[in-house]
Amino acid sequence: MTGLGPVAWPPAPIRTERLVLRESETRDRAAFIELFASPEVNSYLGGPRPRDELERTVPETPGRRPGLFVIERDGTMIGTVEFNRREGDLRSQVRPDAGEADLGYLLLPEAWGHGYAAEACAAALAWFADTLPGEPVLLCTQTANTRSLRLAAKLGFIEVGRYEAWGAEQWMGEVPRHVPVPFGGTS
């Protein structure tokens, strides 16, 4: 994530009731490859990448960059949650300006349906609000991704527009600054 300003990275791990959000480690490489190669995980993200390509190209410690948290449950990586700045290729017809933070997340299929995405995203949003108060956070997803739309609503995102991109209708939401984020984490 560019433009964090005075924010030190990585922050201390964020602990929730069931999860830890932390910086990527070497032991997470296999889980990263599984995330990127999974047809289920990537069904709304352009499809999976070939596993043999990932084995060759994924670095020893993948995902180590400002804005990306590994989601850990019981000592094992189950996904990621991240903030990216809306620059260049992330601009849309709805919000053509750049610079806003865009929330994204990926969870391994075996972690679906347990509330982990909501818990991790809420904790990451609380961290972001404490660290960069007043900055807007957006979330974009395909309108066909009903699970992601339900999560966006649960997290308090309000629709600010729709647009066509990557051959599909996209939904864009923003978290109003006055809405408290549920499932707050502790550091």
pLDDT at 1: 44
pLDDT band per the 50, 70, 90 thresholds, residue 140 = very high
* E strand segments, the chain: 14-15, 20-22, 68-73, 76-85, 101-107, 137-142, 158-165, 168-174
pLDDT at 177: 66
* Residue 10 to residue 161: CA distance in whole angstroms: 32
CB 155 within 8 A of CB 125: yes
CB 21 within 8 A of CB 69: yes
Q: To which residue do tokens 């410690």 refer?
A: 61
pLDDT band per the 50, 70, 90 thresholds, residue 19 = very high
SS3 163: strand
pLDDT band per the 50, 70, 90 thresholds, residue 85 = confident
pLDDT at 5: 57
- Position 184 pLDDT exceeds 50: no
Rg (CA), the chain: 16
CB 141 within 8 A of CB 123: no
pTM of the model: 0.89
- For 125, residues 6+ apart whose C-beta sits below 8 A from its C-beta are 103, 137, 155, 175, 181
Strand 158-165 with 76-85, pairing: unpaired
- Position 91 pLDDT exceeds 80: no
pLDDT at 134: 85
pLDDT tens sequence across 103-118: 999 999 999 999 999 9
- Position 35 pLDDT exceeds 50: yes
